[in-house]
Amino acid sequence: TKQNGGKSYTVYDYHLGRKFQDNNELEEELVRAINDQVITSFYQPKLDLSTGKLVGCESLARWQRSNGKYVPPDLFIEIAEKKHRINQLSTSLFTKTFKSISDMNLPSDFITSVNVSAMVLLDDNFQSNFIEYIHQSGLALNQIEIEITETCLIKDFEKVKSTLSSLRSQGIKIAIDDFGTGFASLNYLTQLDIDTIKIDKSFVGQLDNKGKSNRVIVESIIIMSHKLGYKVVAEGVETISQLEILKELECDLVQGYLISKPVNNFFFKSFINEFDYM
Ligand code: C2E
Ligand code: CA
Ligand code: CA
Ligand code: CA
């Protein structure tokens, strides 16, 4: 009826209004947080399955709002892009990450990975700035890896390709993140100069379920990647049985809550120093 329609419209409108207002507040607070550099990096270790050693880590952005709540990074990264603040945010995260890791005096073959979104990668100044930040921290270029998602590849493939191959020729490692979930076609893999494939956690999470199709997918990704000369990292490893299956399938590195959640630099430093090698 007309009355019902009117009623539900009011409710709908009210929620829309609320949502809009919340987002505006969130956006404004984010811009301030970026300016004040309060967004930090947490670190999650990567375990080498053949040696049982921690051989690297991924830097993950963390933003704690003034109300104490953490905002998911996918969300605030997207807002930062929309607000044209992603380069500013990324610069601040790169420099914090490189400085923190450099201060930990880790072995020279320890690799630190950072996430780089398409918008940042396609910026004309990205390459020279990024290399400069690494140099300033005292780390070497071959201690850094860039994780890009497959969706990144569809924006301007030729430009992404040449940027990546130039970075790689200088020693920086390149990983394709969330492999298997994006829009990129398999033949991109043969056209790109990369080092690592990261199997998305959605496949890893299903590994120890009864159905065997995920195991076939993961096994196929590993075999194909190895044939192409790439290392394979499985992300989102939460159980011993997932880890054992991945070891059987000759996956190179694993990352996930089973080994450690992402933690702040203070905890990461003590964790990595006290880690009991398997
Ligand atoms: P991602 O790069 O695929 O990062 C892996 C996500 O899986 C992280 O979520 C991590 O905390 C989570 N994770 C790690 N181990 C496990 C596990 O065992 N189980 C489960 N269920 N999850 C696990 P997070 O930190 O919420 O980040 C989400 C996404 O936000 C990232 O996905 C990445 O795309 C983006 N992101 C995070 N930090 C940055 C950054 O500094 N720059 C950019 N451009 N993107 C970032
Ligand atoms: Ca990543
Ligand atoms: Ca991922
Ligand atoms: Ca992801």
pLDDT tens-place string over residues 105-119 = 999 999 999 999 989
Task: With a cut of 90, say whether residue 199 has pLDDT above it.
Answer: yes
Task: Specify the ligand 1 atom closest to the Cα of 42.
Answer: 25
pTM for the model: 0.92
Q: How far is CA 231 from CA 173, 190, 191, 222, 225, in A?
A: 11, 14, 17, 8, 7
pLDDT-derived band of residue 5, with 50, 70 and 90 as boundaries? very low
Question: Distance between CA 247 and CA 253 in Å, rounded?
Answer: 9
Gap from CA of 73 to ligand 4 centroid (Å): 10
pLDDT tens-place string over residues 29-57 = 999 999 999 999 999 999 999 999 999 99
Gap from CA of 178 to ligand 4 centroid (Å): 6
Torsion sign across C-alpha atoms 94, 28, 76, 155: negative
For position 275, what pLDDT does the model report? 77
Report the complex ipTM. Answer: 0.98
Identify the H or E element spanning 70.
Answer: strand 70-71
The answer to whether the CB of 170 falls within 8 A of the CB of 192 is no
Around ligand 1, the residues with Cβ closer than 6 Å are 44, 60-61, 72-74, 77, 93, 115, 117, 147, 177-178, 201, 235-238, 256-257, 262
Gap from CA of 147 to ligand 3 centroid (Å): 8
Rounded-to-10 torsion of CA 129, 131, 137, 140: 180
pLDDT tens-place string over residues 122-132 = 999 999 999 99
